[in-house]
């Protein structure tokens, strides 16, 4: 009988402990299009963005934060709202739409959408450091879909975080992507000028 009572008390204590625990809700972040018109001539052309590849070390739902030169931490409660490669493609597509002055920018092939150019992006580094900022290092290529012409480049962009929050890191990454988008838009314009 004593053993049975002790067992019931143990189960009751576990239930109370479980109810008393509180879990921190996860926060989800997006990358935004932040480019503004740069005054360059409008280039009405159709563009697709993708595929985008990212390093396996940051290809996680969680924020991967640099804490030392050779050490990172995953923050379980601060996560990307979508896969990082998709989020980057969407942000760049939005930026290019503004920079080129065209609504015809997509992140994947669509019916009845024939792009003039396609953009591929290979992200080499996508680093986040709290209380400091972010680093984007990416190699990109602009392909002319009909003629097969190719123009490639590399963008290395550092952006300071305006605060110590994860919101500030996500915003800094969005600004870094806008800088890369500006380089890509310039390459598309340069390629378009070569066309007869």
Spell out the per-residue pLDDT of the chain, length 196, in tens. Answer: 444 444 444 444 444 444 445 577 899 999 999 999 877 777 678 999 999 999 999 999 999 999 888 899 999 999 999 999 999 999 999 999 999 999 999 998 777 888 999 999 999 999 999 989 999 999 999 999 887 778 999 999 999 999 989 999 999 999 999 999 999 999 998 888 776 5
Give the residues across from 133 on adjacent strands: 129, 160
Among candidate residues 74, 85, 86, the one with its CA nearest the CA of residue 166: 74
Q: Both tokens of residue 9?
A: 């008390």
C-alpha 145/C-alpha 47 separation (Å) is 9
Beta-strand ranges (E) seen in the chain are 27-29, 47-53, 62-68, 71-80, 105-106, 117-129, 133-144, 150-160
C-alpha 87/C-alpha 155 separation (Å) is 18
- Asked if 183 and 160 count as a contact pair (C-beta separation under 8 A), the reply is no
């Amino acid at each position: 009988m004593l053993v049975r009572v002790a067992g019931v008390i143990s189960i009751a204590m576990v239930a109370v402990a479980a109810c008393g625990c509180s879990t921190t809700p996860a926060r989800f972040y997006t990358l935004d299009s932040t480019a503004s018109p740069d005054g360059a001539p409008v280039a009405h052309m159709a563009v697709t963005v993708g595929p985008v590849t990212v390093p396996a070390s940051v290809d996680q739902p969680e924020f991967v934060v640099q804490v030392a030169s050779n050490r990172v931490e995953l923050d379980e409660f601060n996560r990307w709202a979508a896969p990082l490669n998709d989020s980057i493609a969407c942000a760049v597509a939005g930026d290019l739409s503004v920079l080129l002055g065209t609504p015809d920018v997509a992140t994947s092939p669509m019916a009845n959408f024939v792009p003039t150019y396609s953009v591929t992006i290979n992200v080499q580094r996508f680093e986040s450091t709290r209380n400091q900022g972010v680093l984007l290092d990416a190699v990109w290529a602009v392909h002319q879909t009909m003629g097969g012409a190719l123009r490639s480049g590399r963008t290395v962009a550092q952006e300071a975080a305006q605060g110590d929050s994860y919101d500030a890191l996500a915003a800094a990454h969005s600004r870094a992507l806008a800088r890369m988008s500006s380089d890509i838009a310039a390459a598309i314009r340069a390629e378009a000028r070569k066309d007869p």
